[in-house]
């Protein structure tokens, strides 16, 4: 019978019905794809959630353009989506991740035989470019860490978290999800779970270790009020702090310390790496402490390494530039 029925109501072949059917199929498929990334790909929960938001952006764009998600996709569709990302003023890194999520999604749909193989697998990867990490000066770091503590368990907890963040270079998610059983204050080490569910041992500086000891003995029991928690840093409800809550407390402490620039937890992480290299640490050691799987990721800090090598060379190379040689008078 085909799709040319004479009844006035919308036919089953209308674009609206096709979109509804596609969405009903798409939702469980998307969950399977994201579950695959988490289980097989070893991606962290935060990365998977970022991919979920990326797919949502893509499907919202397709819906506005009247494109059925499981229908044929053209080069113009992707070009238009690229323009959409640019107009949304996403950072280059976020755009790269978004396009990577979409290309992976299309490959998944092809494997599941939901769409046919197509030369249009998304635009070519966008170069991230080279962007130097934003850091705080050592003067600002000292002002932030030496900020006085109010006589409340929350304030001691907050000061300890900031000190530990700078002392270890943890990601904010690693900090807020640090587990009590993975902390050894006698030796001064913390075991954390990073990206890809990979664990690493991170040394804790002596100042951070002493603050942690004080927090564990004095503030943490007052916050828990007899309850149990496997997490190191907890709220009065006995739950771990969220990343958003830590961002808020960090910026509040920065303002109290007289730091005018807007800071983030990742800026503290960058400062940790930068100050280590400025102090003479080698790039490989910094890579291990940061939990970078590839040394190339750590090489964003090589401008510091180059500057230090130049300083060492200028200081110790024996052949120094001499003052201009005066004209030697001719023999009389």
Residues 240 and 183: their CA atoms lie apart, in Å, by 15
Let me know if 284 is a catalytic residue.
no
CA distances from 260 to 95, 143, 274 (A): 29, 12, 20
pLDDT of 158: 93
Say which of 159, 171, 209, 270 is annotated catalytic: 171
For 77, phi then psi, to 5°, come to -60, -45
Let me know if 189 is a catalytic residue.
no
Let me know if 319 is a catalytic residue.
no
Q: Are 183 and 215 in contact (CB under 8 A)?
A: no
Question: Which are the contacts of 66, defined by CB distance < 8 A and separation ≥ 6?
Answer: 15
Tell which residue, 154, 148, 175, has the closest CA to residue 224. Answer: 154
Kindly state the tokens that stand for 166.
């700078």
pLDDT of 294: 63
Q: Where are the alpha helices (DSSP H) in 195-278?
A: 206-214, 220-224, 243-256, 265-278
Say which of 131, 198, 266, 284 is annotated catalytic: 266
Say which of 157, 159, 269, 270 is annotated catalytic: 269
Q: What are the residue boundaries of the structural domains of the chain, listed by start? A: 15-111, 138-315
Q: Give 10-residue mean pLDDT values along the chain (332 residues).
A: 41 42 58 77 76 84 75 74 80 79 81 67 48 78 86 92 90 89 88 78 88 93 91 91 90 90 86 80 75 66 62 70 52 46
Domain 15-111 class, CATH top level: mainly alpha
Say which of 52, 292, 303, 308 is annotated catalytic: 292
pLDDT of 11: 38
pLDDT of 154: 93
Planar angle of CA 189, 192, 195, nearest 5 degrees: 145
pLDDT of 70: 66
129: left (phi over 0), alpha (psi -120 to 50) or beta: left
- Measured in residues, the chain has a length of 332
Say which of 57, 107, 195, 251 is annotated catalytic: 195
DSSP per-residue codes, 65-85: TT--TTS---HHHHHHHHHHH
Let me know if 266 is a catalytic residue.
yes
pLDDT of 79: 78
Structural domain 138-315, CATH architecture = Orthogonal Bundle (1.10)
pLDDT of 30: 80
Tell which residue, 150, 166, 211, 221, has the closest CA to residue 185. Answer: 211
């Amino acid at each position: 019978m085909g799709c040319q029925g004479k009844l006035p109501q919308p036919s089953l072949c209308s674009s609206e019905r096709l979109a509804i059917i596609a969405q009903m199929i798409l939702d469980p498929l998307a969950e399977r794809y994201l579950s695959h990334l988490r289980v097989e790909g070893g991606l962290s929960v935060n990365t998977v959630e970022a991919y979920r938001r990326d797919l949502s952006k893509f499907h919202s764009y397709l819906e506005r353009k009247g494109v059925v998600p499981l229908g044929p996709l053209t080069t113009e569709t992707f070009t238009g989506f690229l323009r959409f990302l640019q107009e949304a003023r996403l950072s280059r890194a976020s755009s790269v991740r978004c396009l990577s999520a979409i290309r992976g999604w299309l490959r998944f749909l092809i494997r599941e035989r939901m769409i046919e193989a197509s030369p249009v697998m998304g635009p070519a990867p966008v170069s991230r470019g080279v962007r130097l990490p934003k850091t705080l000066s050592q003067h600002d770091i000292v002002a932030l860490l030496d900020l006085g503590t109010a006589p409340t368990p929350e304030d001691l907890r907050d000061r300890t978290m900031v000190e530990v963040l700078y002392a270890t270079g943890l990601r904010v998610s690693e900090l807020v999800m640090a587990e009590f059983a993975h902390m050894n204050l006698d030796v001064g080490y913390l075991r954390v779970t990073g990206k890809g569910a990979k664990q690493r041992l991170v040394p804790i500086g002596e100042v951070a270790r002493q603050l942690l000891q004080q927090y564990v003995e004095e503030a943490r029991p007052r916050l828990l009020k007899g309850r149990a928690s496997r997490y190191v840093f907890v709220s009065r409800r006995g739950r771990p702090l969220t990343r958003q809550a830590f961002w808020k407390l960090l910026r509040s402490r920065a303002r109290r310390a007289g730091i005018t620039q807007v800071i983030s937890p990742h800026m503290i992480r960058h400062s940790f790496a930068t100050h280590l290299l400025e102090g003479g640490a080698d790039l490989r050691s910094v890579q291990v402490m940061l939990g970078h799987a590839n040394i190339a990721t750590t090489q964003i800090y090589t401008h510091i390494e180059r500057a230090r090598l130049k300083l060492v060379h200028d200081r110790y190379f024996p052949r120094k530039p001499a003052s201009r040689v005066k004209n030697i008078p001719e023999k009389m």
